[in-house]
């Protein structure tokens, strides 16, 4: 785990925030090099699938020319939801690092743990990385949203 990659994910979350999106960012790393980034784009794309992790996985698959990301790690500012946890398993990403825990939809231990279901591929995961910074961006976004 390398904190500098979570900092890049936070930058993606800030970009999402500035675009009026829920501020979640993701980074995929291979051999200690960023190969793909993603951020929430559900509002701009009008697509429920446009989560940060899905965007990053799509970008990584395009860059590497395949769907198996078994030599990659993913860093994401918010605990993955059921859809994203499933996509991480299906992409065979072995390591998942996330910042803020999601008590409503988190599926890496908060509400459910999809990564530990009885399937043939079980990624390692670690949460709470730069949790304060990741949580503050989300809290500020929703505070501003409620003020509107």
Q: Is 133 a catalytic residue?
A: no
Centroid of chain to Cα 107: 12
List 7, 11, 21, 53, catalytic entry: 53
Centroid of chain to Cα 13: 10
What CA dihedral angle connects 38, 42, 46 and 47, to 10 degrees?
70
Q: What amino acid positions are annotated as catalytic residues?
A: 53
């Amino acid at each position: 785990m390398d904190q500098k990659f979570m900092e890049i994910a936070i930058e993606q979350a800030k970009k999402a925030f500035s675009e009026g999106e829920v501020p979640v960012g993701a980074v995929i790393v291979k051999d200690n090099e960023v190969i793909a980034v993603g951020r929430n784009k559900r509002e701009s794309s009008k697509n429920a699938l446009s989560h940060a992790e899905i965007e990053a996985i799509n970008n990584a698959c395009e860059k590497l020319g395949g769907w198996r990301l078994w030599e990659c790690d993913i860093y994401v500012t918010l605990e993955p939801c059921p859809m994203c946890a499933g996509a991480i398993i299906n992409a065979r990403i072995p390591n998942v690092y996330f910042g803020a825990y999601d008590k409503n939809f988190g599926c890496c231990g908060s509400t459910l743990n999809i990564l530990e279901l009885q399937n043939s591929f079980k990624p390692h995961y670690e949460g709470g990385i730069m949790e304060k910074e990741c949580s503050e961006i989300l809290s500020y976004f929703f505070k501003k949203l409620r003020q509107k």
